[in-house]
Amino acid sequence: MALLKIKHSTTYHYNQPVFLKPHVVRLRPRCDGWQKLHHYQLDVSPTPIGRSEIVDLDGNATVNLWFDRPTEKLQITSISEVETLQQNPFVYLLEPWAMQLPFDYPSSLRSQLSPYFHPLGILPTTGDPVAAELGEEIAYRVHGKPIDFLHQLTQEIYRNCKYVVRPHGDPQSPSMTWKKREGSCRDFAVLFVAACRVVGLAARFVSGYQEGDPDSEERDLHAWVEAYLPGAGWRGYDPTHGLAVANGHISVAASVYPSYAAPVEGGVIPVTPPLAGGKPLESQMEFHISIDR
């Protein structure tokens, strides 16, 4: 077990006064059987006129914010104290019918999990062909054993792909990541999810923190994957580090699509838009994350 203190500050700078549209903040760590949230604090500047704590469709604790005055800077700072509780991520018994891929799901369970089977890739109905080939090849290699499949897929991405820091932008397509053998943690997670769904494993995207090297001051928001194993529930796998998720990870948000797990979601409107004589809007984001035991 580990007790971790996380401070995550994100600052947006604008080159002119802007009106802030309503924002959604997903920075509150989970509190469940895997981790216990002892303290959470969210500070926002400028102070919003409204703040609503909600639980979204995926069960994530989110905060909706809305504002009433122009600003040239938005700063969002979250402080968390989290105790991680799972040292061994493999303590479970699979359902007897879940020993071989593809699973013969009961109709009620398949209905509940249906969004997590949706193809994720460059093709809207059949998913990503490169991810499909990767997933099917690994499933064949391990004779359809689900735990072996997840382990091999984790190792395949970890050993063959170069990690790069890419703090901005949407995830790459699975095809691009695997062809280039390069990507960020969110790129690896999207590739992993796409390969799982092809072979009938429900999977979702997770954002959060990873403790990393205690001697390093560099920290980033991290991304990994949770696959649903009947009898074991959602189980995390981190292809960036080549391991199953346990005490070193702090989960914040999980969803069918990466955009629904983004830490901050919102937009701005210039006080004087270009069509009314204003200058083009430019913005800059900076962040700092510290994780201490």
Closest to 253 measured CA to CA, from 263, 244, 265, 245: 263
Domain residue spans in the chain?
2-85+263-292, 96-245
Q: Say yes or no to pLDDT of 68 above 90.
A: yes
227-248 pLDDT, tens digit each: 999 999 999 999 999 999 999 9
Q: Say yes or no to pLDDT of 261 above 50.
A: yes
Q: Can you list the positions of beta strands (E) in the chain?
A: 2-20, 23-25, 35-45, 50-55, 61-66, 71-84, 162-163, 182-183, 203-210, 222-229, 233-238, 243-244, 249-255, 264-265, 268-270, 283-292
What pLDDT shows up at residue 120?
A: 67
96-245: what CATH class? alpha beta
pTM of the model: 0.93
CATH fold match for the domains 2-85+263-292 and 96-245: no
Q: Say yes or no to pLDDT of 32 above 60.
A: yes
What pLDDT shows up at residue 17?
A: 96
Q: Say yes or no to pLDDT of 123 above 50.
A: no
Average pLDDT value for the chain: 93
Fold of 2-85+263-292: Immunoglobulin-like (2.60.40)
